[in-house]
Structure 1
Amino acid sequence: MANTYTQVYIQLIFVVKFRKALIESGWEERLFKYMIGIIHQNGHKVLAINGMPDHLHILISMKPVQSISDLAQKVKSSSSKWINENGLARGKFAWQTGYAGFSYTKSHVDRVVKYIANQKAHHTKTGFQFEYKRILDELGIEYKEEYLFKSPE
């Protein structure tokens, strides 16, 4: 649309179902490139992507052509299908239901990019569950503990 100007930065966090450590270093870069391709095909730009064997973070500069939930669903469903079709994970791969999506101003982008780039070193000191709850608390996001991390049934 003519004369439409936006600046929307969103960090998405996806967690592997049951927090299983299924994303292996041998193919994680291929996964990141695949996910970046999906995001770019949907008209957005990836500023940072990285993660751990059980979760990942993506910082996106979003265009107002799609909802965050629609983009998250497309990236998760396409990537899990791709992982399974290529036999990359040990066993069946699935993302946990839901996602986290946090917005940032331009002044925070460099800090978030560095945070995402430093995931592996960062999580040697701070556990993911502790950090996830800390972020939710800092941002004033209400949550129910029983829905944060699904346990195997």
Structure 2
Amino acid sequence: MANSYTQIYLQVVFAVSGRQNLIKQSWKDELYKYMTTVVMNNGHYLLAINGMPDHIHLFFRYRQTETIPKLISEVKTSSSHFIKKRGFTPHAFNWQGGYGAFSYSQSQVSRVINYIERQEVHHRKQSFREEYKSLLESFEIAYRDEYLFDFDDVYRWE
């Protein structure tokens, strides 16, 4: 019997509900380790994870063992429970509905990893809104502003 072979690299971006700045420097590494475990336990290989206080970027080699929506739902649901259980924030914590998923070729892997690792530097020049819309436009994904994440403000990280 023949095997199936794939090489699929995905960057997934999702935000904190209401784009609140709830992910704190003091516990973000613990959150990232937890999310890495969830991704890896589902048979995928995480290449990079980083973000800002209001959003996360995951970059991983995707295996067709489950659907993308199922994986992202599990990552978001379990990490939200993890944050609440650990008491990382006194505020109600939830991820916004929806996400962006963008595919890349093998030749782009290093560039995407570098981009994700440099989120703090990148966001000194560009807001999350600008970044997200730029991704959608560069991948030629049609969208309507009213169905994007809840963008309460446009700001840059100082």
Q: Which residue of 2 aligns with 1:38?
A: 38
Shift of 1:150: 2.3
Q: Which residue of 2 aligns with 1:9?
A: 9
Matched, 1:123 2:123: yes
* Percent of matched pairs sharing the same residue: 45
Q: Which residue of 2 aligns with 1:72?
A: 72
Q: Which residue of 2 aligns with 1:113?
A: 113
Q: Contact conserved, 1:22 with 1:90, CA < 8 A, in 2?
A: no
Which secondary structure does the structure 2 equivalent of 1:135 belong to?
helix
Shift of 1:141: 0.5
Deviations 1:52-88 (A, max 9, x none): 0000101010111011111000000000011011110
What TM-score do the two structures reach when normalised by structure 2? 0.92
Which secondary structure does the structure 1 equivalent of 2:102 belong to?
strand
Distance in 1 separating the partners of 2:16 and 2:90:
13
Shift of 1:151: 6.1
Q: Which residue of 2 aligns with 1:140?
A: 140
Shift of 1:4: 1.8
Q: Which consecutive unaligned segments of at least 5 residues does structure 1 have?
A: none
What TM-score do the two structures reach when normalised by structure 1? 0.95
Deviations 1:97-120 (A, max 9, x none): 011100000011110000000000
**Aligned residues: CA RMSD:** 1.3
Q: Which residue of 2 aligns with 1:61?
A: 61
Distance in 1 separating the partners of 2:106 and 2:74:
25
Q: Which residue of 2 aligns with 1:24?
A: 24
Distance in 2 separating the partners of 1:64 and 1:148:
27
Identify if the C-alpha distance between structure 1 residues 126 and 151 changes in structure 2 by more than 3 Å, giving closer, same or farther.
closer
Q: Which consecutive unaligned segments of at least 5 residues does structure 2 have?
A: 153-158
Q: Contact conserved, 1:36 with 1:46, CA < 8 A, in 2?
A: yes
Which secondary structure does the structure 2 equivalent of 1:124 belong to?
coil
Distance in 1 separating the partners of 2:14 and 2:59:
12
Q: Contact conserved, 2:129 with 2:151, CA < 8 A, in 1?
A: no
